[in-house]
């Protein structure tokens, strides 16, 4: 049924969940869908402004389906006439859908008898990040708690092997590790990320990925001259000789945390620092489901 140039009565506007300006000239088409539902398509000779009322989930304006609850999603009708699937656009990824599972984060945490979180250890090269990370993992293991270390160098052997040490690649390196750490935390694992992560904004971005409290930042506050004297990989010597460019602490800045959960100064024993973090986890309830 079509009536071009006809102004719809109030009952039609209310029944479809739409509200329209009384000055518009509208037409409509009523159709029955294969799945037993029905649809009313509104048409206008001029511009058409439609507002959804309570109970409305989606509308078709000028032939385009829009989801009013989420501007970033689209709905694509299938040839079978089934209810359209909600698809999303995230960054450069289009037409993707988040799949839920009946086994959730709480179920996994109950299985492991612990709560997932991210312990982010940051500091200059040679400050002892990896040593503390291993000591912390060992301490948790002895308590029967599952953890996994995301070491900066180790991740660059695989997932991030395509990245350089330029500023933009370092930011992408941190972003990827932050997303992986989030997945570990959601699986119920205590994830220990150990990497320089020199830029404050990148660390804060990783913190924002997780619920409040689940990102625990540990700052290895060891002076540059101490780290350079240790130089376990010989990198400071190469940087001073100009053979490595953009090396943190030499010709690239390190931005210390402003509000970290823990700070380890020079001279602190790695095992003692690990126990401090473990005590923090116990106090916050992360070592039980």
CA-closest candidate to residue 254, choices 223, 279, 281: 223
**Burial level of 242, CB count in 10 A (0-12/13-18/19+)?**
exposed
Q: Which of these is catalytic: 125, 130, 147, 197?
A: 197
| DSSP letter for each residue of the chain | -B-TTBPPPHHHHHHHTEE--TT--EEEEEEE-TTS-EEEEEEESS----EE-TT--EEEETTEEEESS-TTEEEE--TT-PPPEEEEEETTEEEE-PPP-SS-HHHHHHHHTS--EEEEEEE-TTSSHHHHHHHHHHHHHHTT--EEEEEHHHHHTTTTTT--SSHHHHHHHHHHHHHHHHHHHHTT-EEEEE-----HHHHHHHHHTS-TTSEEEEEEE--HHHHHHH-TTSHHHHHHTTSSSS-BTTTB-----SS-SEEEETT--HHHHHHHHHHHHHHTTTT--
Torsion, Cα of 172, 173, 176, 182 (10° steps):
-120
Known catalytic membership, residue 93: no
Q: Active-site residues: which are they?
A: 197
């Amino acid at each position: 049924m079509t009536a071009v140039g006809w102004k719809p009565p109030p009952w039609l506007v209310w029944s479809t969940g739409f509200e329209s300006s009384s000055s518009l000239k509208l037409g409509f088409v009523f159709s029955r869908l294969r799945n037993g539902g029905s649809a009313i398509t509104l048409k206008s000779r001029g511009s058409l402004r439609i507002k959804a009322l309570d109970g409305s989930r989606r509308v078709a304006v000028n032939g385009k389906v829009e989801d009013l609850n989420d501007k970033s999603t689209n709905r694509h009708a299938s040839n079978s006439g089934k209810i359209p699937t909600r698809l999303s656009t995230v960054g450069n990824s289009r037409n993707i859908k988040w799949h839920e599972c009946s086994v959730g984060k709480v179920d996994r945490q109950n299985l492991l008898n612990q709560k997932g979180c991210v312990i982010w250890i940051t500091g200059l090269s040679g400050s002892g990040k990896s040593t503390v990370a291993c000591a912390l993992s060992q301490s948790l293991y002895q308590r029967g708690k599952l953890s996994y270390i995301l070491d900066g160098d180790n991740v660059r052997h695989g997932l991030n092997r395509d990245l350089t040490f330029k500023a933009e690649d370092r930011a992408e390196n941190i972003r990827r590790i932050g997303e992986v750490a989030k997945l570990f935390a959601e699986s119920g694992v205590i994830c220990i990320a150990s990497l320089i992560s020199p830029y404050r904004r990148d660390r804060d971005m990783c913190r924002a990925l997780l619920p409040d409290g689940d990102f625990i930042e540990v700052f290895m506050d060891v002076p540059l001259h101490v780290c350079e004297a240790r130089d376990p990989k010989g990198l400071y010597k190469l940087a001073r000789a100009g053979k490595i460019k953009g090396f943190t602490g030499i010709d690239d800045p390190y931005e210390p945390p402003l509000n970290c959960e823990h700070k380890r100064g020079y001279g602190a024993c790695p095992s003692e620092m690990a126990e401090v973090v473990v005590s923090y986890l116990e106090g916050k309830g992360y070592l039980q489901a």
